[in-house]
Structure formats: C-alpha cells, structure tokens
C-alpha cells in the first residue's frame, strides 16, 4: 500500500554490504555485495578488510537498490541502519552512510539491532509477526531463544549459548574437516552425502539438571575434533561426509528440541527461526517435522533472507516507523555489543525535551 512507510536499510555488521528497500512489509529490493572471498585465505573475517570493502561497495550498492526498486531517494520515509552488534569498524561505515543519506534527504534515521532485524525480516515473507513472537536466533555470533512481545521495543532472552554460537561451531568444525570458510554452507552441502547416525556426538546441556533454554556447542566441537584426530592418528581415512552429517544432526537436534520446549513452556503456538544458521537445510527440515508433530506453526524466511542482508534492516526500520518509535539522533553511535534487548537506539524525544526545556535527561 502506498501509505505504508518506504524505508532504506543498510547492513554492514560483518562481511556483507547489504542494502534493502521495503514498503511496510513488502520487499522492493535486496542487494548484497560480499567480501567473503577476500577473507577465505585467512580462515575468518578480517575486520580491516571488511571495513574497506564496505566503504567501496556502499554507494554503488545503495544506488543499485534504489534502481531495482524503481524509487527515488527523495521518496524515502526513513533510513535504517544496523547500529550493532557487529564489528565496530564495519558498523561505522554503514552508520556513517546512513547518517549522510538521512541528513541530506531530511529523513529520520533509525539505528536498529542486527539480531531483532534477523527476526523482523520474516514479515517480508510471511506477513506481520504474531505477538508475542517466539524466535530461535542462530547466527555466527549469537544463539538465543527470544520471546518478543513487540519486536520494536520488547525482546526478552529466555536462554542463550554459554560458549560458542551455533554458526561458530559450524565454522570451527568445517576447519577441522578442511572444508574452508565459511563452514556452514560447506557442511550443509557435504552432509547430504553422509549418514547422520554414523557417530553419536554429544548433545550439550540436555540433561535433566541443565538450564532448559541455554545452549553449549563447545563440547560438541571438541568431541568432533577428538574423533577426527583419533582416526587420523591411527592412519584411517576420515569419513568426512558422515562426520559432517552427524555433527549437523547433533546441533539441529538440540536447537529444535529446546525451541519447541520453549514454545510449550510459554504457551506460544508458533516458532520463528532466523539468522545465518537458519539457512541450514537439515535444521529447516527437522524443525518442520518436529513443529508439525507438536502442533506449532513454523516460520522461517527463505535462506537468502536468513543470512545477513539489508532487507532485514529495512524491515525492522519500517516497523519502527509504522509503530511511531522515536528515531535515532544524528549522533547515533555504532555499538559493537548492542544487547539483544534493545531493538533500536532512540534519540532524545523532541516533543518531550521541548515541553521540559531546562530539564536534564
């Protein structure tokens, strides 16, 4: 609808320069420039390389998104940008660009949370999120179960990883198996040729006395590394596809089991899964099966919207505008450790300060 807010979203928290355009909950454009190939030989994202790549890609990526959506910058209702969490230098490039566009166009600026964006993006595919939303957020840096009564201002963590994030575990196990970086997509592909029951790897924090909604993947990662090293030391060939499939099975088993348990505990009849690891084909299939058995409606965006992109930032920005949330100040900082409980960084409320002139806040 033409009266819904038209929002530009900019994402630069890691190695993808993402720019999205959204009108309300409708996706108009989603353009991504990735520096992933430049990091591959280092085995991980190099912050300085990512920042430089964002700087070079920023303006052309914004221009392509506007052209794809066939809208003019002057028609925007707001500019949204990932303010955190993420790599400080990489975030700064996006935040600076967003400020420049917002200031030049005279439009409100919204510094939003990367993690809340990973959840809100599902509105572009499956319509408005239910309230509350139960979300399993699984990315390279975070693994959490979140209950969000309102994605624009009320996100409550039920549990999180106590060590490695799910994506981090995929990346580390991929390195052990010699599959390169990033490891998630490589393990996903290889696991299709393997037997998920070949090795029974440990399921962390699933004992009766363990925290029901927290995760631990570091023991699993170590178990995989030990298993592989033992075979190699004995001169045996490592059945790489079987190990990949068995590792992936352990991760997805724990993630889906705890997510469904959280839905039942909170009386929520649906589950949203977001973040890069939600692109995993086995996680998607297992969640589909187990949610169906439990009578829970599953919402997972298509894989391209699970990994980092600008559309998710625009989606949350549009929701902020639609719900009348206070924009950010032009002095908006990049906050590399922005907590998941803060969906955006509001500026000083102008009406409020006006009526209370002279008071300090």
Name residues contacting Zn ion, limited to 297-356 (CB under 5 A): 308
C-alpha 14, offset from chain centre: 11
List of residues 6+ apart from 339 with CB closer than 8 A: none
Among Zn ion, ligand KG4, none, the one that 279 touches (CB under a kind-dependent 5 to 8 A) is ligand KG4
Shortest distance, CB of residue 284 to ligand KG4, whole angstroms?
A: 9
Regarding 11 and contact with Zn ion (CB under 5 A), the answer is no
Contact residues for ligand KG4, defined by CB under 6 A: 14, 139-141, 167, 170-171, 182-185, 188, 275-277, 279-280, 307-308
- Choice between 181 and 227, CB closer to Zn ion: 181
- Choice between 24 and 84, CB closer to ligand KG4: 84
Query: Do 257 and 206 form a contact (C-beta atoms < 8 A)?
Result: yes
3-state class of 6 per DSSP? strand
List of residues 6+ apart from 39 with CB closer than 8 A: 15, 45, 46, 49, 50, 181
Helices (H), 75-179: 88-105, 114-120, 123-126, 166-176
- Choice between 113 and 139, CB closer to Zn ion: 139
- Choice between 45 and 129, CB closer to ligand KG4: 45
**Angstrom distance (rounded) from CA 117 to CA 313:** 5
- Choice between 190 and 312, CB closer to Zn ion: 312
Shortest distance, CB of residue 90 to Zn ion, whole angstroms?
A: 12
Among ligand KG4, Zn ion, none, the one that 184 touches (CB under a kind-dependent 5 to 8 A) is ligand KG4
Query: Do 241 and 228 form a contact (C-beta atoms < 8 A)?
Result: no
Regarding 188 and contact with Zn ion (CB under 5 A), the answer is no
Cα Rg of the chain, angstroms: 21
Residue 277 burial (CB < 10 Å; 0-12/13-18/19+)?
Answer: buried
Among Zn ion, ligand KG4, none, the one that 141 touches (CB under a kind-dependent 5 to 8 A) is ligand KG4
Shortest distance, CB of residue 351 to ligand KG4, whole angstroms?
A: 35
Question: What is the residue whose two structure tokens read 């592909």?
Answer: 189
Shortest distance, CB of residue 155 to Zn ion, whole angstroms?
A: 15
Regarding 139 and contact with Zn ion (CB under 5 A), the answer is yes
- Choice between 137 and 250, CB closer to Zn ion: 137
Residues making contact with Zn ion (CB under 5 A):
139, 308
């Amino acid at each position: 609808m033409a009266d819904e807010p038209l929002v530009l979203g900019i994402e630069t928290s890691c190695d993808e320069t993402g720019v999205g355009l959204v009108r309300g909950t409708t996706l108009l454009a989603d353009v991504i420039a990735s520096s992933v190939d430049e990091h591959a030989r280092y085995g991980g994202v190099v912050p300085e390389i990512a920042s430089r790549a964002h700087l070079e890609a920023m303006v052309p990526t914004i221009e392509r998104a506007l052209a794809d959506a066939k809208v003019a910058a002057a028609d925007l209702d707001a500019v949204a940008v990932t303010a955190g969490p993420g790599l400080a230098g990489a975030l700064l490039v996006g935040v600076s660009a967003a400020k420049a566009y917002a200031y030049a166009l005279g439009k409100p600026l919204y510094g939003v949370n990367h993690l809340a964006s990973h959840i809100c993006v599902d509105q572009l595919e499956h319509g408005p999120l239910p309230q509350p939303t139960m979300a399993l957020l699984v990315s390279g840096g975070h693994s959490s179960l979140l209950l969000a009564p309102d994605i624009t201002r009320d996100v409550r963590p039920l549990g999180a990883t106590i060590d490695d994030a799910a994506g981090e575990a995929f990346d580390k196990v991929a390195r052990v198996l010699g599959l390169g970086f990033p490891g998630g997509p490589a393990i996903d592909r290889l696991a299709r040729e393997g037997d998920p029951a070949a090795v029974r790897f440990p399921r962390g924090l699933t004992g009766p006395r363990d925290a029901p909604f927290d995760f631990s993947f570091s023991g699993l990662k170590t178990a995989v590394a030990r298993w592989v090293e033992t075979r190699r030391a004995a001169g045996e060939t490592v059945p790489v596809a079987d190990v990949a499939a068995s590792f992936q099975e352990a991760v997805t088993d724990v993630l889906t089991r705890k997510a469904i348990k959280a839905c039942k505990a909170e009386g929520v009849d649906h589950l949203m899964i977001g973040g890069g690891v939600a692109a995993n084909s086995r996680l998607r299939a297992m969640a589909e099966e187990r949610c169906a058995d439990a009578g829970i409606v599953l919402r997972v965006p298509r894989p391209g919207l699970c990994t980092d992109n600008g559309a998710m930032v625009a989606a949350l920005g549009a929701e902020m505008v639609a719900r009348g949330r206070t924009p950010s100040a032009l002095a908006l900082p990049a906050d590399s450790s922005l907590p998941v409980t803060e969906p955006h960084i509001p500026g000083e409320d102008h009406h409020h300060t006006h009526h209370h002139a002279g008071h300090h806040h």
